[in-house]
A and B are shown apart, each in its own frame.
Chain A
Amino acid sequence: MRRHPPTSGTVTSGERDATQPQVRDQAEPSLSNATNRVDSGEAGQITLTVNGVTHHVDVADDTLLLDALREAVGVTSVREGCGVGACGACTVLTGGTSVSSCLALALRYDGAEITTAEGLDENDDVVSSFVECGAAQCGYCIPGFVLMSAELLAENPRPSEQDITDHLEGNICRCGTYPEIRRAVAVAAERRSPK
């Protein structure tokens, strides 16, 4: 199950790595969704380290992490499917922990290290297992499943079928790719921790 975003305070994970490339995002980003309200003013600038690259992002009080990632950082594997934390398409990992970015206020993630599916290497155990098992049809929801699977295997290198089900039940694949996804997670576990 994904972690519910915190209700207060700031989530930080690790110090900023001075050797990492720094990207100053444009004040006028190529907005696809443009959810920042013109009349609410900027609440401030936060720093998000996304897939190892640090971004300084201007956000309002009510800017969602989902929108900050999609519109300011330009990460499009993070997707809105329901807006209420019920489908998992917007899942990201912050400091290795899954979060529904559609429920998370961006301000509270100042300094966070965020991983999205693009940030995983194509030879990553989970990614390559999903590819080999054909665990994607339209593929829209799959990045969320990939990240949940990565989180599961980090916590539990040898998950049972029931463990896999328990961890992925909050993600919806409307194409019904569940059998292939379950197989892919088992293959990734085997690959990472051979018996």
Chain B
Amino acid sequence: MREIEQSWVGGSRPRFDTAGRVRGMIAHVGDQAVGAAAHVAVHRATQPHARIEAVHVDEALAMPGVYGVVTGADLYKQLGDRLLTGPAFADQPALAHEKVRYVGEPVAAVLAADLATARAATDAIWVDYEDLPPVYDLADALAGTAYVHDELRPSSVFGDLKHLRGVRDTNVNYTYNLRTGDAEAARDAGAHTVTGEFWAPPTHHVPIELPCTIAWVDSGRLEMLTTTQTPSYVRQTIADLLDLPLSRVRVTTRPLGGSFGAKMYDRLEPLAAALAWTAGRRVRVTATREEAFLLTTRHGAAVSSSLTADAEGNLVSSVADVRYDTGAYADVGPRITAKSGMVAPGPYRIANARVLSRCVYTNKPSAGPFRGFGVPQVTWSHESLIDELAHELGEDPYAFRRRHLLREGDEAPMGTRMHSADFVGCLDAVANAIGWFDPLDRGTGRIRRGRGVAVGVKAVLTPTIANAVLQLNQDNSATLLISTVDMGQGSDTIMAQIAADVLRMDSRRIHVVRADTDATPYDTITAGSRSTYHTGNAVRRVAEAMRDKLIGLAAERFGVPAEEVSLTPDGPRAGSHEVTVAELVHGHFGARGATLTTEANYTSSWTPYDKETGRSDKVTEHWFAGAVGARIAVDTATGRVRIEHLAVAGDVGRAINPTLVEQQLSGAAIMGIGHALFDQLVLDQGQLINGTLLDYQLPSIRDLPDQLTPIVVESPHDDGPFGAKGVGETGILGVAPAIANAVRDAVGVRLTRLPLTPESITMALEENQ
């Protein structure tokens, strides 16, 4: 392959600026010099649920270096109900107003000459509270005796939540129902039913880069530089918050030091914008690691579910009651509740399905998006159940799954057909990789080995909008303007590869501009594994428009019809006519350094699911299909699990950059190992008790499996750019159940609560004796 072709689609060219990353030369938001700014620290609530009687700020105000102290009441006076923001419900104030709803909620902000002074001053603030009955967990919340919010306040972002406005006396802010056939009757009539009470605890993203937002006012405009995956969303939120036209809000970003869903929607940005605007000065807001734990979490989820087969072993019924604990503020929980609820039966042919999926407020830190968007929690349930059903029927768990998996063209229980979702290929690949068909040394004495597999399905965020603007410079380099945020996944690299492939140029000559809402066009969000497909399609189109433009100019220059001109790495060609792009563009403008510009849009569409049945013939633009296989050894004396081989496969349609795809798969698998074995946020009466990295365990190099095999499966999507789809979340879906199924295989115990701690395994072994 020519070197230039390595930089196109299918080539594993190195990530943009690897050398800079390795030596730490990429500047992140927190590295930017801010000059004279007010540094902000926050006083946080000590009560899980209480009415704010008074906030005493005089002592803090008197401290040298303190510019001011701002409370929720101060902001409410200026902004009114606009203070309440959120993607699904406008329920979250930048600073608590009237009530606090979780321990650690921001109550007052100190602006000071430096961060140490600001932080010291927050300790000089005290608050008089009138305690309210706390809602500590899902059981409290569903008992319906105390309510986190007096009434539901749908935001204007999602039109389909309007009917919930003003609903009172509930902690359930959203309910998704799936009704296909009569699942309860089919369960009752079925020959074999397995049931389970599953729990996946809240966890945290812990991107190593801490969040940071710098906001200032310039010529009557609010400008900010912030760590966000969602610059277009943040611009809209700030415009709404301050009642400004979008043209007077500017949101800029830098590459993120990881995110995984942590840095999106409303994090530090509403507070920074409100403070900068009301104080009329530059502010810098950041968070310690301990504070970052409180900004957002992954939903803890309880699933009560069953799976039923008839006498012939056909799947006839899936029933699931799913409860997502969304904490004090809904964030995007309602969307998670629906998008995950609809795949709670799993990627199987099942005639009857019933899902009740609820998003539930509690007095805890808010839960929001996290790699997988709620799907790992239901995958935990359906992949444990089908495994157990196979055991009950005396069938091989791999073969049993394979028989029932959805194939191309099959309709999922929620009504949408499968395309470019090769579950069978993924399952076969991981089974082969871990030696499923080979004899297994099951071990003797205290060490016992086992194998497990799991399959996952997830819908891509739909509908969404992507735009791209391309400037081809006269010297045959290019500048690509998109609002996708590179946070490690490599979008700055693969978007250039897509454009370069179309334009037959070297992708390393294409610079992708960091999202800046003054310059880069609207893009829904960088999340939900949507960018490769959606933004990638916009980039493909914008490059195709540029190719057409170049061919038109060349045809004119050559005096031939455009159909006769082709674009090559050396420039346009038509028979014996040839010209370089540099000469062509120079000739057109008569100037060096001039640019040609094109723009393009890609928007996906959907059919909203039916409110009663939860069904839709097109609930998503496309599907993610993945599978995980695990071979493990359990030390029955200590309960420790050693992963000998973990294989993770994902159908990505077409790998734009195979190396980056493999990194996404293996990186997701490693994160999934944490969720499977030790990762969890522990709360006691609303108080987070392990919110520091001394206490919160994350996978280290020591937790690597003895062997880790990422496997790229390619079942091209008809409408994907070059057949491609995203991959950020695919690898994480099935990790925990694959490991738990391997534990079941090794030692015969079925664990239904994550994580699979040594204690939980030894206790289950004792109970089993």
Contact = CB atoms under 8 A, between A and B. Distances in A.
Interface of A: 30-40, 62, 70, 76-84, 86-87, 89, 116-118, 120, 122, 127, 130-131, 134-143, 146, 164-165, 168-182
5 contacts: A38-B65, A138-B258, A164-B701, A176-B667, A178-B699
A122 B18 contact: no
Interface in B27-47: 27-28, 30-35, 37, 39
- Which of B19, B23, B258, B669 lies at the interface centre, i.e. has the most chain A CB atoms within 10 A of its CB? B23
Contact of B25 (A118, A134, A181): A118
B723 interface: no
Contacts of B257: 79, 138-141
A165 B666 CA distance: 18
B116 A134 contact: no
Contact of A176 (B14, B33, B666): B666
Given A34-B115, A174-B698, A140 B693 contact: no
Contacts of B670: 176, 178
Contacts of A178: 670, 699-701, 704
B14 A174 contact: no
Contacts of A77: 23-25
Classify the secondary structure of B's interface with A.
loop
B208 interface: yes
Contacts of B702: 165, 169
Contact of A174 (B65, B260, B489): B260
A165 to B, nearest CB: 5
A68 to B, nearest CB: 13
A82 B287 CA distance: 10
Given A84-B693, A168-B701, A175 B23 contact: no
Contacts of A81: 208-210, 289, 693
A146 B24 CA distance: 10
The A interface is mostly helix, strand or loop, or mixed, namely loop
3 nearest A-B residue pairs (beta carbon): A77-B24, A139-B21, A138-B488
A89 to B, nearest CB: 5
Contacts of B39: 33-34
Nearest to A140: B257
A116 B25 CA distance: 11
Given A86-B694, A137-B488, 15 more contacts: A33-B286, A76-B31, A81-B289, A83-B289, A87-B693, A134-B18, A136-B15, A138-B487, A140-B208, A140-B209, A142-B21, A165-B702, A174-B258, A176-B669, A177-B663
Contacts of A131: 14, 18-19, 22
Interface in B687-707: 692-694, 698-702, 704
Given A176-B699, A179-B704, A134 B24 contact: no
A137 B15 contact: yes
A176 B704 CA distance: 9
Nearest to B14: A134
A127 B693 contact: no
Contacts of B256: 138
Interface string B206-242: 1111100000000000000000000000000000000
Contacts of B260: 174
Interface in B282-327: 284, 286, 288-290
A39 B64 contact: yes
A138 B114 CA distance: 29
A37 B671 CA distance: 38
B10 interface: no
Contact of A89 (B208, B284, B668): B208
- Chain B interface: which size bin? 35 or more
A139 B26 contact: yes
A98 B205 CA distance: 27
Residue of A146, A171, A176 with highest tally of chain B CB at under 10 A: A176
A168 B701 CA distance: 7
A87 B208 contact: yes
Interface string B165-194: 000000000000000000000000000000
Contacts of B700: 168-172, 178
Contact of A120 (B18, B23, B28, B488): B23
B651 to A, nearest CB: 20
Contacts of A140: 28, 207-209, 257-258, 488
Contacts of A117: 22-24
B113 interface: yes
Contacts of B208: 79, 81, 87, 89, 138, 140-141, 172-174
Nearest to B260: A174
Contacts of A142: 21-22, 24
A168 B699 CA distance: 12
Nearest to B22: A130
B53 to A, nearest CB: 30
B255 interface: yes
B677 to A, nearest CB: 14
A26 B205 CA distance: 38
Nearest to B37: A34
B336 to A, nearest CB: 21
Contacts of A32: 30-34, 284
B545 interface: no
B116 to A, nearest CB: 4
Contacts of B209: 79, 81, 138, 140
Nearest to B33: A30
A39 B63 contact: yes
B79 interface: no
Contacts of A175: 258, 488, 663, 667
Nearest to B34: A32
- Chain B CB count within 10 A is highest, among A32, A36, A78, A134, for A32
A116 B22 CA distance: 11
A178 B670 CA distance: 9
A2 to B, nearest CB: 13
A125 to B, nearest CB: 12
Contacts of A141: 208, 257
A26 B65 CA distance: 21
Interface string B238-278: 00000000000000000111101000000000000000000
Nearest to B670: A176
B537 interface: no
Contact of B113 (A38, A168, A170): A38
A184 B642 CA distance: 24
Contacts of A130: 22
Contact of B255 (A38, A62, A138, A176): A138
Contact of A76 (B27, B37, B698): B27
A172 B667 contact: no
Contacts of A31: 33-34, 114
B659 interface: yes
Task: Name the residue among A143, A164, A174 with the largest chain B CB count within 10 angstroms.
Answer: A174
Interface string B455-479: 0000000000000000000000000
A84 B288 CA distance: 10
A118 B23 contact: yes
B161 interface: no
A31 B31 CA distance: 9
Contacts of B117: 37-39
A135 B15 CA distance: 10
A26 B39 CA distance: 20
A169 to B, nearest CB: 5
Contacts of B764: none
A168 B703 CA distance: 12
B29 to A, nearest CB: 10
B683 interface: no
B693 A134 contact: no
A84 B698 CA distance: 14
B115 A33 contact: yes
Given A79-B208, A134-B659, A140-B258, A38 B64 contact: yes
A131 B33 CA distance: 28
A180 B660 CA distance: 12
B258 A35 contact: no
Contacts of A179: 666, 704, 708
A172 B289 CA distance: 14
